[in-house]
Each structure stands twice: as C-alpha cells, then as structure tokens.
Amino acid sequence: MTKVNEELALKAAELVRLTHEAKIPVMVLFEGVAASGKSRLANELLLALDAKYTQFYATKTPTPEDLRMPFLFPYWTNLPARGEVTLYFRSWYASLLDYEYHGFKKDIYKDYQVLQQEIEGFEKLLINDGYEIIKFHVEISEDKRQEHIEKTKENPLTRWKAEEFEHAIPKELYENGMKELISNTADISPWTTINYTERTQAISEMYEVIIDRLEKALKKYKKKKKPEVDGKFTADFTTDLFVDTEDDMSKKDYKEQLPALQNRMREIQYALYEQKVPLILVYEGMDAAGKGGNIKRVREALDPTGYEVNAISAPTETELAHPYLWRFAVDLPRTGHIEIFDRSWYGRVLVERVEGFASTTEWQRAYEEIKEFEKSLITEGAIIIKFFLVLDKDEQLKRFEDREKTPDKQWKITDEDWRNREKWDIYLEASKDMIEKTSTDDAPWVIVPANNKKAARIKALKTIIGHCEKRLNI
C-alpha cells in the first residue's frame, strides 16, 4: 500500500468513527462484473474500519426459501443500525439483474420495472431517515480481468472459484443492465465508477469519494437544527368519519354465524398456503375497542403453524436504532402465511404524531412512505386488509371502568390508557387523516363499528373471507 493510500485509509477510518459517534448509518455498495476487483476493493475498506460497527454483506442468488420473502427482505434484515456501516458486495442492483436473468417470480414482477421502483423507494426512505448511501461501480480492462481469472484457475485450491465466474450472470447482460440502472438511479444517490485496472489509483479514488461524502454528511449533521415537532392539530376538531359505532348483533346470531365463518377462515388459510399468497391484517382503533378479542376470533380456528400475531409494544433500543418501518419489514409473512399486526407501522402517524415522537416532517412524510411500503407488499402478491375499530367515548369509559373493577382484567388498564383518553380528539384527527391519506384500492381501510364486539368480530371475519375468496377464486 502506498503512503498516500495509507493516509487516505486512516482519514476514512477516522470519519467513520465520527459518523459512528454521530449515529449516522452508512451503506457502501460495490457493484461490478465477476473478477472486476470489487472484492479486493471492498476488502481494502473493510480492513480499514473498526469491526465493532462494520458489517459486510454479500448478495447471493436466492434459494427457493428466500424467494418466499419480498425482494428487499435480505436488505431490510441486513440494514446497518444508526452509527453502523455496512459494505455490500453486490447489492439490490445485482440482485435485480439476477432475478431478471433467472426469471425469478416473473409472473408477479413482469418486466422487473417494478423492482427498480422499489429500489428507488427504499433508497429514498433511507436517505430521508439520515442514511448515507455510497455507490461504487467497479470496472476493469478485459485483459486484467482475464489475467485474474487465469491466475485463479491455475491454483488447484482456487480453481473452483474460477468456475463460479463462468456460472455468474453473463458479463454483457450485467454491464448493460447496470448501465441502465445507474443512469436511472443516480439522482437518488450518486454512483461513482472506478476503474480497477490500476489498483493503487482505484483505491485512492474510492477513499476520496468516501471521505468527501462523509465529511459532507458530518457537516450537515452539525448544522442540523432541532426539527420542528408539531402534530398540527385543529382546534375544535370534528369529523363524521367515526360516528357509526353501533352495529347490531344478538348473541344468538353471533353464536350461529361464528363457527361457520371460523371454519371458512381455516379453509381460506389452507387455500392461501396452497396458492402461496401471503395475507397481512392490520388492526388499529381506539383503546379498548376490542382489537385483541377480534383477532382472537379470526385466528381461533387457524392452524398455528401458518400464522403469527405481531402485537406492537414500545420499540426496543435496537428498533429505535433503525427506520420506523424496519421492525415490520423484518417480520413479514412468507408466501402462504398470515401475519396479523395488532397495531402497526401506522403508529408513525398516530401515537408518534400525537406524542411528538416524530418530527413534523417525519410524520407528514410517512403517509407516502407507508403507501409505498404497502404497494411493495402488494407487488409481492400479498393481500392487505386494514381494520380500524371505532368505539364511542362513552363506551370506552364503560370498558375502562369495567376493566378496573374486574380482577381478571385489571392488567389491561394502565395510567397511559387514561392519559390517551384525554387526547381523544387529537387521536380522532390523526386517525381521520391516516384513513383518508392511506386508503388505497389494494389496501383499503375498513372502518368497523365496535361498540358491539360481536358485530365487529363478524364484520372482520366476513371482510377477510370476502377479500380472500375473491382473490383466491374459491
């Protein structure tokens, strides 16, 4: 290593130490054809950084099991936390080209244009959240490339590696694909093409880009003002959206209808499994509206090996160190499975807006981010149904008091519930905005009157069954 490069490496390492302290997450992508030198270049950087907060992730051709999860799933699960840095040896770009080359999930992605949109949405989301994404495309002269391949072939211990090069996606396909992707995505976060033919020069260039980008990121960080935190609520807010809280249902009707619906729900589960369709159910609504009990009736007859309930509590330390969508994106159902979210990513525009946990910009941006996120799930073939359970204020009071009086239910009621109740009106406004801004044809909000728990349960079951029957054609 030359003196100059050694100094650049030290400088880069120091800057990454500072981004680590400033809790800025950094992603460095290395793309390039096989034997282009991207592994040797990535290794230079890897060796310069502190292993305590540095990860290295190598993209692989997906296994059949991997294909049961959304396209971006491996990148969500291998996302650096705030203050960490992850080096990607081939990234979502190579993965897109790999999917296309092998025709993976062609039936749902068609011409794979949709994956490029997802990549754009993913990067935008991360950048908005403070991620620094540095993208390298490594090139090499064909002579040098062949020289490297030959050398690898000569050594009996590395010969198999050379054979791998031959199985990779053909060079021209990769290069043409990348050229297009680079030109289409450079405006989101810039690409740098590095020619590895001259190794020393290539290393300098890499470090210079990294130093430049991190210096800018740190400068921006230092200049950053405390963001405005304002839920932007209206005085004397009223809405007609939630007036309908009462559906009628007698105990007799309920007992008659429930078993058949639950049996049908189980058949739906099997059909989902057979047709490999994931089902995502989202439950939001007023405190004590009966979300848990409603979910219980939906899942009661299901095969427990094929569904999961994700009941959202306050985020952990690790969850807080990632974008708010992260803890949901890493817990999505695989094909044919059901995931029920008891509260969800909508917390961003509900509790986080109300309590000021998200800045004004953050919760305002979230509507679009969430729509993009759900769109990507739909692209993957998922059915999404979102329930909003509506209770009126008097009924909530009755239920709170009942919980306090009943020994079995006391654990269900906390001071926080009472505090939230005082914010009834602003929760209403946040809920109304959410429903209006995020109801789409493919992921509709279903408002469920919930003063009568039985009616609410039957309505949820019928809604799920109806949507699924239509989609599954059964």
Binding site for a second copy (CB under 8 A): 10, 14, 17, 39, 42-43, 46-47, 50-52, 56, 58, 63-65, 87, 89, 155, 157-158, 160-161, 267, 270-271, 274, 292, 295-296, 299-300, 302-305, 308-311, 313, 316-318, 342, 408, 411, 474
Q: Which letter does DSSP use for residue 349 in this model?
A: G
Closest separation in Å from C-beta 310 to a second copy: 7
Q: What are phi and psi of 413, to 5 degrees?
A: -115, 130
- How many Å apart are CA 193 and CA 218, to the nearest integer? 24
* Cα 269 versus chain centre, distance: 24
**Residue number, 182 or 271, with CB nearest to a second copy:** 271
**Residue number, 78 or 439, with CB nearest to a second copy:** 78
Contact 137, 194 (CB under 8 A): yes
**Residue number, 51 or 235, with CB nearest to a second copy:** 51
- How many Å apart are CA 385 and CA 303, to the nearest integer? 20
**Residue number, 120 or 267, with CB nearest to a second copy:** 267
Closest separation in Å from C-beta 279 to a second copy: 15
**Residue number, 66 or 120, with CB nearest to a second copy:** 66
- How many Å apart are CA 212 and CA 15, to the nearest integer? 10
R_g over Cα of the chain = 26
SS3 343: coil
Q: What are phi and psi of 379, to 5 degrees?
A: -55, -40
Which H or E run includes 354? helix 351-355
- Amino acid at site 459: K
**Residue number, 89 or 196, with CB nearest to a second copy:** 89
Closest separation in Å from C-beta 375 to a second copy: 27
Closest separation in Å from C-beta 81 to a second copy: 10
What Cα–Cα distance (Å) separates residue 197 from each residue in 6, 37, 148, 201?
Answer: 19, 8, 11, 9
Q: Which tokens sit at 417?
A: 């519930």
Q: Which tokens sit at 14?
A: 């120091």
- 360-395 as b/e: b if 16+ CB within 10 A: eebbbbbbebbbbbbbbbbbbbbbbbbbbbbbbeeb
Closest separation in Å from C-beta 109 to a second copy: 23
Closest separation in Å from C-beta 236 to a second copy: 36
**Residue number, 178 or 340, with CB nearest to a second copy:** 340
Closest separation in Å from C-beta 110 to a second copy: 28
- Give which of 183, 209, 69, 199 is closest to 116, Cα–Cα: 183
- How many Å apart are CA 45 and CA 381, to the nearest integer? 39
Closest separation in Å from C-beta 422 to a second copy: 24
**Residue number, 112 or 387, with CB nearest to a second copy:** 387
Closest separation in Å from C-beta 213 to a second copy: 21
**Residue number, 317 or 415, with CB nearest to a second copy:** 317
